[in-house]
Structure 1
Amino acid sequence: MSATAFSLTLDPSEDTPYYRQIYARVRDAVADGRLRPGDRVPSIRGLASDLGLARGTVEAAYDLLIGEGYLLPQGQAGTRVAAIGPHAARLGRPGPAGPAAALPDRRSVRPFQLGLPALDAFPHALWARLTGRRLRDATRLDDGYPAPAGDPRLREAIAAHLALSRGLRCAPTQVFVTAGYRHTLDLVARTLLGPDDEVWVEDPGYPPTRLLVEAHGARGVPVPVDAEGLRVAEGRRRAARARLAVVTPSHQAPLGVALALPRRLELLAWAAGTGARVLEDDYDGEYRYEGRPLPALASLDREGVVYYAGTFSKVLLPALRLAYVVVPERDVPRFEATCAAFHGGCPQLVQAVVADFMREGHFARHVKKMRGLYARRRAAVVEALHAVFGARLRVALQAGGMHLLVRLPGRADDRELARAADRAGLALQALSDWQHDQPVEPGLLLGFTNVAGAAAARTLAEKLEAAWARRR
């Protein structure tokens, strides 16, 4: 198929930007076989002229298509459909009826879903340009196996970012790149824990943490959390010789409280005195809406006892499967040995693009933009909940984070309410599902980052009210 035979129409009545419409039309043509591997597509200048658009609009669409592997730029030979295009395209399109089509679409975002950044606000065009640049310039991308501990350029970028944003000074060699929080915890457990070692876990706390440490043969010891965070004295009473404490000090998951300074110092003193380590999970510490982000617990560490864990899933995209952990300098050789034995490294292209994104200043600007966006979206959801429910529920508003904790009056069953919301397509979570040993006051956890505005928030609040009314 020649470039002159390719035609495409746009719909000005759609809310979708023109560059996204071009992207979708070309992607669908590749998936349907109307564009085949090797087919040439129009030049940016030619398509922009045909559609009456600015060249930058078409360029943004082509960068996205190139970055995702549908198109391949070939210099003077033009831009052609890549050989992997049809296979890549079919991964994102519904298949024929049958068992395969019944599999859930894990990419879909359900209202109030936890743990997701604002997917509609991700800078796709910029990301596509950075990815395309890496793909076009073979000298900028290493073709061998990735380094087990991470791309040195990404490790340098992370270290520089932490020094500025979290008050944490570290050498790039102390940064280990992982494939997400679970991989980070796995790396720590393989390096530090032995059979029957005790590990403090927050109660209530993120459920997979206890499951994963116990999968390594250790024993998770639930330690209660109150308005000042982890009750360190209670942890010492329950397991004074624990090898590890896993905490979320900046924004406790799920209660949202910050670990008070006296308890931070108490926790560090306990670890230093017993030879234990503290894993600081700073999963959404960038997002604080009252004052500046809190300094990392690791920035107070003078004895080399804190492992600082961060993730790109909450600030960029979960699909990147990229996170990191910063370890004390004396523990670096042990982690290098674990990585060499058990970790094949993260995808080189993804690491390279994230490094470029950070080194060129885009990451800091994106976080700042998201902080303002999330503050507005959080306010819209809170206002809608108050308008629809009034005194029938209470929002336990905290200074930061990416979710809300809604408290329920009386003896409400938060699990039953979460199931009713689920049947209505709303992805709330019951606070009771996050408890270990300590009973909790009933509550519900709501993500607000993908609620587009006041109108959407009001619609969702009314849908939630209707779902709960139907259960009675």
Structure 2
Amino acid sequence: MLPFLRLDDGVALPKFRQVQDQLRAAILQGHLRAGTRLPASRILAGELGLSRQTLVRVLENLKAEGYLEARQGAGTFVSAALPRAAPKLRMTPASDDPPAAPRLSRIGTLSRAVSAEIGPMERKPFLPNQPALDRFPFAIWRKCWNAATRNGKAMGYGDVAGELVLRQRIAEYLAVHRRDPCDPEQIVITPGGHAAFTLAALALADPGDDIWFEDPGPVTTSNLFRTLGLNLCLVDVDADGMDVAVAMARYPHARLAFVMPSRHHPLGVTLSLPRRLALLEWARANDAWIIEDDYDSEFRYDGAPLPSMRSIDSHGRVIYAGSFSKALYPGIRVGYLVLPQPLVGAFRNLSGLIHRSVPVETQLALAEFIGGGHFASHLRRMRSLYAERRAAFIDAASVSLSGRARIDCSESGLNALAWLTDGVKDSAAHRAILDAGLQCYPLSDYTIATSRPAALILGYAGVPAERMRPYLSRLAEALSRL
């Protein structure tokens, strides 16, 4: 009676769902037009081999969705409120031509042209920026989580700026360990570092504005700013960090400067004090803003962590961005901004409009973890562990990679650079190392305009010291085949 209804015993979908979906599709495709009367449920159920109760359930569901209507004493009809000639849905392409691209906003169009990925992220030896997850204090973290979420106190909406207790703990940590005191009200919690950069760009710059950006620099961050419509003003990086003098000469009227002064990624250099002061003076004189990305400054192996740029900013031009992705684990997705007081209101409101809040239970657990002294203890243990793994890496690499690469391992951070010799391209080396079951990133992926020698970024922090030599031997063997 309704030839388009076909039940298939070979599919996992329940029969009532098959009938329901096929009736809905028949209405949308115009096979059953508005006002068409359906066969009686008893007859249709018999034809399909279903119980009448099951078919009635199907019809009631479609009535609730607005496709069918019941008329007293007359039966069930396709809803008269639907168009008399419903547009047919093309179930298969009419030709081999690819479908037309959807119409997107400017930001949507820009985002489609870039990538949010830097490369394969499998947890293999030498994955860059990877903390020692095997040494994370899971039992303590679980206790903090349980204490923070007891009695349902973390089940409501949170403060749009972040939970006050977490902001207080971060302020205490910055004052004691980074020599950078601030008021908790100056802090806005964000879902990770990139969310912090996004807030700063949206609040302080318009599409078409210029932003200084170090070249080489983090791929996803440069893609973020491009997607937001900012013009990347690329600035070379040398042994003293960003070349501020060149940037001032070429791009004096930029609105923003994005900089990693404590440890540049991926080159590992530190912005010198004269350049920090010059950058601060440029921002003051030009009513510009500095986004300071302080992503892993906790891990310095020759003395205390360097003071932040914000700590010497006397004119309130620095927006300090930190996160817990390297200090704890990447999946925690908690970052924060420390703002000049005049910016707090705008950033707080914008954060609430975009993110509402970071999950409250995560914030409260982190506050418990920091307040109980566990965060500081964990950092001390990790600094000692990473110093040991760094020494093991340097020792093993000096043997395994001799003649194939020159190792550059800065006194802070989680990564090292291996500058390749013999004209080997880092992209080819990257593929060979992946095939060998290891990980790395090619420096060329971070380079935007400035040509650099070939190099590999190798993360040593996540590799046990006793495994460093065999893994580096495997890496050297992969390079030998190029």
Which range, TM-score by smaller chain? 0.7 to 0.9
> Structure 1 residues 256, 338: closer, same or farther in 2, change over 3 A?
same
Q: CA RMSD in A?
A: 1.3
1:465 aligns with 2:452: no
1:183 aligns with 2:195: yes
1:115 aligns with 2:129: yes
How far the C-alpha of 1:391 sits from its partner, in A, is: 3.4
Whole-Å separation in 1 of the counterparts to 2:430 and 2:351? 40
- Aligned residue among 303, 306, 309 for 2:321: 309
Which amino acid letter does the alignment assign opposite residue 134 of structure 1?
A: A
How far the C-alpha of 1:462 sits from its partner, in A, is: 1.2
Which amino acid letter does the alignment assign opposite residue 116 of structure 1?
A: Q
Partner of 2:388: 376
Tell me the secondary structure at the aligned position of residue 147 of structure 2: helix
Give the structure with higher Rg (CA): 2
- Aligned residue among 410, 413, 419 for 1:398: 410
Which amino acid letter does the alignment assign opposite residue 208 of structure 2?
A: D
Does the 8 Å CA contact 2:188/2:336 hold for their aligned counterparts?
yes
Pairwise mapping of residues 337-416 of structure 1 onto structure 2 (< 5 A)? Answer: 337-416=349-428
Which amino acid letter does the alignment assign opposite residue 370 of structure 1?
A: M
Tell me the secondary structure at the aligned position of residue 369 of structure 1: helix
Does the 8 Å CA contact 1:298/1:307 hold for their aligned counterparts?
yes
Which amino acid letter does the alignment assign opposite residue 320 of structure 1?
A: I
Whole-Å separation in 1 of the counterparts to 2:337 and 2:293? 9
Q: Which runs of 5+ in 2 are unaligned?
A: 1-119
Pairwise mapping of residues 377-456 of structure 1 onto structure 2 (< 5 A)? Answer: 377-454=389-466, 456=467
Whole-Å separation in 1 of the counterparts to 2:451 and 2:415? 21
Tell me the secondary structure at the aligned position of residue 391 of structure 1: coil
How far the C-alpha of 1:210 sits from its partner, in A, is: 1.5
How many equivalent residue pairs? 363
How far the C-alpha of 1:460 sits from its partner, in A, is: 0.6
1:133 aligns with 2:165: no
Whole-Å separation in 2 of the counterparts to 1:107 and 1:405? 18
Question: 1:284-308 CA deviation, whole Å, 9 max, x = no partner?
Answer: 1001111111001110100000011
Q: Give the structure-2-normalised TM-score.
A: 0.74
Partner of 1:103: none
Q: Which moved more, 1:209-218 or 1:343-352?
A: 209-218
1:292 aligns with 2:314: no
Pairwise mapping of residues 185-200 of structure 1 onto structure 2 (< 5 A)? Answer: 185-200=197-212
Whole-Å separation in 2 of the counterparts to 1:133 and 1:154? 14
Deviating beyond 3 angstroms after TM superposition, the runs of 4 or more aligned structure 1 residues are 135-138
- Aligned residue among 347, 350, 354 for 1:335: 347
Pairwise mapping of residues 315-330 of structure 1 onto structure 2 (< 5 A)? Answer: 315-330=327-342
Tell me the secondary structure at the aligned position of residue 346 of structure 1: coil
Whole-Å separation in 2 of the counterparts to 1:418 and 1:425? 11
Q: Which has the higher helix share?
A: 1
Tell me the secondary structure at the aligned position of residue 262 of structure 1: helix
How far the C-alpha of 1:108 sits from its partner, in A, is: 4.8
Q: Which runs of 5+ in 1 are unaligned?
A: 1-105
Q: Which moved more, 1:159-168 or 1:390-399?
A: 390-399
Whole-Å separation in 1 of the counterparts to 2:412 and 2:436? 28
Partner of 2:155: 143
Question: 1:257-290 CA deviation, whole Å, 9 max, x = no partner?
Answer: 1100000000000001101111110111001111
How far the C-alpha of 1:107 sits from its partner, in A, is: 8.2
Q: What percent identity do the matched residue pairs reach?
A: 39
Whole-Å separation in 2 of the counterparts to 1:223 and 1:107? 28
Tell me the secondary structure at the aligned position of residue 466 of structure 1: helix
How far the C-alpha of 1:403 sits from its partner, in A, is: 0.3
Partner of 1:207: 219
Partner of 2:13: none
1:233 aligns with 2:238: no
Which amino acid letter does the alignment assign opposite residue 450 of structure 1?
A: G
Which amino acid letter does the alignment assign opposite residue 112 of structure 1?
A: F
Q: Give the structure-1-normalised TM-score.
A: 0.75
Does the 8 Å CA contact 2:148/2:368 hold for their aligned counterparts?
no
How far the C-alpha of 1:450 sits from its partner, in A, is: 1.1
How far the C-alpha of 1:134 sits from its partner, in A, is: 2.6
